[in-house]
Structure 1
Amino acid sequence: MSSLRLPRLSSLRALRHRDFAFILAGATLSNIGTWMEVLALGVYVTKVTGRAEWTGGVAALTFLPAIVLSPLGGALADRFDRRRYVALGTALELLLAGTLATLAFTGRLTVPAIAVVSFLNGCVTSLFLPAFTALIVSAVPKDDLHSALSLDSAQYNLGRICGPALGAAVVTLVGVEWALLTNTLSFLAVLVGLAFARGATSTGTPPTGSLWTGIAEGMKVAREDPGIALALLGTLLVALCIAPFTALAPVMAIRVLNLDAGATSLLVGAQGTGALLAALAAGSLADRFGRGRLLEWCVLLIGLMAAAYWLSPSLPVAALAVLGLGSLYMLTNTGLATLCQTRVPAEMRARIASFSGMLLYAGFTFGVWLQGALADRLGVRLVTASAALSFFVLAVMLRSLRPRAFAVLET
């Protein structure tokens, strides 16, 4: 695999590898378009329905299929050429995005239509995202894996910075339909990146048994490896208690702070900025403190930071708090993902990634719906801050009962 000459900053090491750089560039442009769509649809649903339950519920539909389909997607990804498999999934996402844009331009966009397309998009993502994770892992050597996953998170969160700002401008100036069209076209960037990344494909020996046998083998590895088991549990709890803040930004801006789409854009962008800065520093922080210690402190602090965000009295305070929350969220998820991927052979990477995705989406789906529904009845601040503080209590209990719980990250 060819490499590019870049500075030796540890967080950027993965960019030396040509295939990874092409894949990352395509994904970055696509995610900017995706976050334009997320903001446009979030604002649309919130304004049309006026209910946090609907905003959270529609967002949850994107992740609901992963509860069932992620393990199947992981098993399929370990059997095929991952580059072509990801290209197929991207083409389907382009088709679904185009459907929303067409409905908007023809004046037929409705909340039920958004819900249906969101669910179908969740099905596609569930089946193909494990392959994308395994693809970027196979594009770099093991020593650069933490850098690759950090940069992948960075590009995702760069979309959070640019996408909502562009989305808010487009929605304000020319309407929701143009934001949806921009997202549709952005998927072409992924296809171009994959076309140039010809060296990134499957590695290892593909499984020869049935799909269900492959899934069972992956579950056995995940259950028996203490590091992977701990990482998967952490992924579930973060998704359940903390992650809903990503989908409920319109609720925070519009219902809690009594502002508009511009405030939503600012909050989402601040979260993305924090995550991007953390991603660029992740490699250096891990080298200095160790991956285990870094993850331990992130797990202990993220609940307190989330509570501070939800209890913020004004937009500037909320933006500052979500900047820190975005940083901790990125470092926590990257640390958990790195642990999973470094402890499995190449031929099982997609399956392990699929289990992580399944728990992430299951926890997020239930968490965002439940927090949204309870917020309509008990109050947004009370429900969301309580969930965040509950996570902090669980983290302290884990730290007390198992003071060396994250030491496996250093092995």
Structure 2
Amino acid sequence: MTQQLSTPGPAGETPGGPPPARPGRIRSLLGQVLADITPLRSSPDFRRIWAGQAVSSIGQQMTALAVSVQVYALTRSSFATGVVGLCSLIPLVGVGLYGGVIADRFDRRWIGLLGASGLALLSAVLTLQAALGLRQVWLLYAVVAVQAVFFALNAPARAAMIPRLVPGEQLPAANALGSVSMNLGLTVGPMLGGVLIGTVGYQAAYLVDTLAFGASLYAMWRLPAMRPLAGDARERTTVMAGLRFLRGRPNLRTSFVADIVAMVFGMPRAIFPAIAVAFYHGGSGVVGLLTAAPAVGALLGALFSGWVGRVRRHGLAVILAVLAWGLTIAGFGALRELWVGLVLLAAAGCADTVSMIFRNTILQEAVPDEMRGRLQGVFTVVVAGGPRLGDFEAGTVAQLTSPGFSAVSGGLACVAGIVVLALMRPGFVRYDARRPTP
């Protein structure tokens, strides 16, 4: 048998085969798929804020997990665990709108410093109560409520800074990177928290959170003054001005309602401790995995978000993402294999990141700087309040029925709600970023 010898063609090509991939072509392809890091390269202030949020988010999620597990361990009640969300919801709604007014009236840098300092102090209180073994559920509820107050002050000011730190064309990329830092905390925090709770105790998770706020405080301290741009001072002091602005912007309102539908009906976080026991016969480690799984998916969605800048139908993207969230949550509640549940929760988290990126961009494009704090206050109430109300809803339904029924019914209610919203708001479905209509 005669051996056929092939002669390499030009530039190393082999006849009969495809040309080898060129490094430039590979870099171009990766640039279209991976998250755009241009805001990190071009803005040192954004880079520090981003890194500080990533570190502090890890600690905050460890605390959120520890409070949930500690309340369930003390009460053995999904309802009591769901009340944690209700305790933070009430002050969050009450203070969130006024937090936005404050962000439009005063230096946003100092507001961010105040909020982060208060949250660090409250984490220290949680550390102390766990170390002393006080076992008082009311104290946990009280600390969570005060945490919501400081969060409601901090979040609108921090979010309103971003359009001042990066140019408008980089906002989708900056929002995707913000999702990376947030979901890094949501991924690492619960898993690390579950390990620390199981091996050392609740106080270890709370202590790490206390120390992690140092990164956020440093980032805020290095910022320049962030006073709101010129505008009517009387208008900047009223909540109603922000609500009047929102009333005339149907696409903004619809983006808020879409997130409420997803989080109120489809958020299963409060029933994770019960599901860990009932479905998988596990403890705090399994709760950590369940809590981290949506964040893993969200982190992957954000890391591979290079495509978002090419999407123009932002409203349709939000609708489809919320629809995917509801379907995957319903599937999670219906199945009993741990690995399947983790995959479905990760898929849900990825869908939530897509929704968040486009909802944030719609908001930032449509709102002028002098009004941005108040609208970010409304956004904070919706984004942070929705999951807390969802905690209460899921915990209550689980207590009355079962954890599995709570997850399935919530996911299906989310699907039904977003379909109805899409039919009622066709203008939102047609929203085009090239011709934004708030």
Same fold (TM over 0.5): yes
- Of the structure 1 ranges 298-307 and 399-408, higher mean CA displacement relative to structure 2 is found in 399-408
Q: Deviations over 1:71-100 (max 9, x none)?
A: 100000011111111001111111111111
Alignment of 1:6-405 (within 5 A): 11-16=36-41, 17-198=43-224, 201-209=226-234, 214-242=238-266, 244-288=267-311, 290-405=313-428
**Offset, 1:354:** 0.9
- Name the aligned partner's letter for residue 151 of structure 1: L
Compare 275-284 and 87-96 and name the one that shifted more.
275-284
Q: CA deviation at 1:400?
A: 4.0
SS in 1 for 2:370: helix
Distance in 1, matches of 2:284 and 2:155, equals 29
Q: Tell me if structure 2 keeps the 8 A contact 1:240–1:367.
A: yes
1:233 to partner: Cα distance: 1.6
Q: Partners in 2 of 1:286 and 1:393 — Cα distance?
A: 29
TM-score after normalising by structure 1 = 0.92
Q: 1:35-63, CA deviations, whole angstroms, 9 ceiling, x for partnerless residues?
A: 11122222221122111111111133223
* AA matched with 1:182: V
Matching residue's letter, 1:214: T
Question: Is the CA contact 1:231–1:336 (under 8 Å) kept in the aligned structure 2?
Answer: yes
Going from structure 1 to structure 2, the CA distance change for 1:291 and 1:370 (only over 3 Å counts) comes to: closer
* Alpha-carbon distance, 1:361 to partner: 4.1
Instruction: Kindly indicate whether the alpha-carbon contact (under 8 Å) linking 1:62 and 1:119 is maintained by their aligned counterparts in 2.
Output: yes
**Structure 1 residues 218 and 401 mapped into 2: Cα distance closer, same or farther (>3 Å)?**
closer
- Mapped partners of 2:227, 2:193: distance in 1: 36
- Contact 1:311/1:381, CA 8 A, preserved across alignment: yes
Q: Deviations over 1:8-61 (max 9, x none)?
A: 965322212111000111111111111111222222211221111111111332
After superposing on structure 2, the runs of 4+ consecutive aligned residues of structure 1 that deviate more than 6 Å are: none
Relative distance call for 1:173 and 1:365 in structure 2 (3 A) is closer
* RMSD between aligned residues: 2.1
Residue identity matched to 2:240: A
Q: What is the number of residues matched between the two proteins?
A: 402
% identity of equivalent residues: 28
Q: Is 1:134–1:349's contact at 8 Å kept on the other side of the alignment?
A: yes
Does the CA-based 8 Å contact 1:276-1:327 persist in structure 2? yes
Q: CA deviation at 1:179?
A: 1.2
Whether contact under 8 Å (1:306, 1:388) holds in the other structure is yes
Which consecutive unaligned segments of at least 5 residues does structure 1 have?
1-6
**Structure 1: distance between partners of 2:227 and 2:175:** 17
2:226 and 2:241 map into 1 onto residues whose CA distance is: 22
Give yes or no for contact 1:341–1:353 (8 Å, CA) kept in 2.
no
Deviation at 1:329, TM superposition (A): 1.4
CA contact (8 A) 1:64 1:361 kept: no
Aligned counterparts of 2:287 and 2:244: Cα–Cα separation in 1: 42
Larger CA deviation: 318-327 vs 307-316: 307-316
Deviation at 1:364, TM superposition (A): 3.2
Q: Which residue of 2 aligns with 1:3?
A: none
**Contact 1:241–1:387 (Cα < 8 Å) also in 2:** yes
| In 1: Cα distance, 2:390 partner to 2:432 partner | 27
Task: Read off the aligned partner of 1:272 and give its amino acid letter.
Answer: A
Distance, in Å, in 1 between the alignment partners of 2:171 and 2:361 is: 7
Equivalent pair of 1:298/1:331 in contact (CA under 8 Å): yes
Structure of larger gyration radius: 2
> Is 1:57–1:369's contact at 8 Å kept on the other side of the alignment?
yes
